[in-house]
Chains A and B, each alone.
Chain A
Amino acid sequence: DIQMTQSPSSLSASVGDRVTITCRASQSISTYLNWYQQKPGKAPKLLIFAASSLQSGVPSRFSGSGSGTDFTLTISSLQPEDFATYYCQESYSRTFGQGTKVEIK
């Protein structure tokens, strides 16, 4: 199976900061990469699909990039409602990354 490695596992940031989360696949997955946001006690929410396509209703401050094995989720200006855990997921064997927790500095 494909392994997905996210970094960092957690980060502290302030409102207004630019935040970048990285996801690396153990083999090439083209652009078959999705990003989810999960808040405590809630189901995950799809943010980005196919590496860079913004899901309907998701604010434009979220963006995704990458192809092959290296991918990035960027939040251009962190908002209070963005403090959550973020997961990448590849679509071949549907493996999730271990998550990145974004906390308030």
Chain B
Amino acid sequence: QVTLRESGPALVKPTQTLTLTCTFSGFSLSTSGMCVGWIRQPPGKALEWLALIDWDDDKYYSTSLKTRLTISKDTSKNQVVLLMTNMDPVDTATYYCARSRGVAGDFDSWGQGTLVTVSS
């Protein structure tokens, strides 16, 4: 059974760096084809893809946010970490991590999401 769980701060101040961790089980990120991505959703708004890391440690970023994002993995711990710099109130959202079946694949398993509020 594939499970993913996001963890990180519920509240960050403007200009701070957000660090989110996705801890997963039921698959290995060292398996060819496996990827983990991050998606966010501001309250009442649509989903927005942020970043993706694949089994070969290749990284992919949203064009609009790539200067602020860093994704990394620790295969031994079954974790993927997302850093987002210079947080702003517009970044307030529920952040999800999800497994992808391939670099150009779907997101077939999702974490429950974690709400991050940006406020001073």
Contacts and interface: CB of A to CB of B under 8 A. Distances in A.
A43 B47 CA distance: 10
Chain A interface, >50% SS class:
loop
Interface stretch (A11-19, A20-28, A85-93): A85-93
Closest 10 pairs (CB-CB, A-B):
A43-B110, A94-B49, A49-B106, A34-B106, A96-B47, A91-B104, A98-B46, A46-B108, A99-B46, A1-B63
Interface string B72-105: 0000000000000000000000001010010011
Interface of B: 37, 39, 46-49, 52, 60, 63-64, 96, 98, 101, 104-108, 110-113
A44 B110 contact: yes
Chain B interface, >50% SS class:
strand
Contacts of A74: none
Contact of A96 (B49, B63, B101): B49
A36 B110 CA distance: 11
Contacts of B63: 1, 93
Contacts, number: 56
B116 to A, nearest CB: 15
Interface residues of A, number: 23
Interface in A21-77: 32, 34, 36, 38, 43-46, 49-50, 55
A73 to B, nearest CB: 14
Contacts of B39: 44, 96
B105 A49 contact: yes
Contacts of A93: 49, 63
Nearest to B50: A94
A94 B46 contact: no
B104 A32 contact: yes
13 contacts: A36-B47, A43-B111, A46-B107, A46-B108, A89-B47, A89-B49, A91-B104, A91-B105, A93-B49, A93-B63, A94-B37, A95-B49, A96-B46
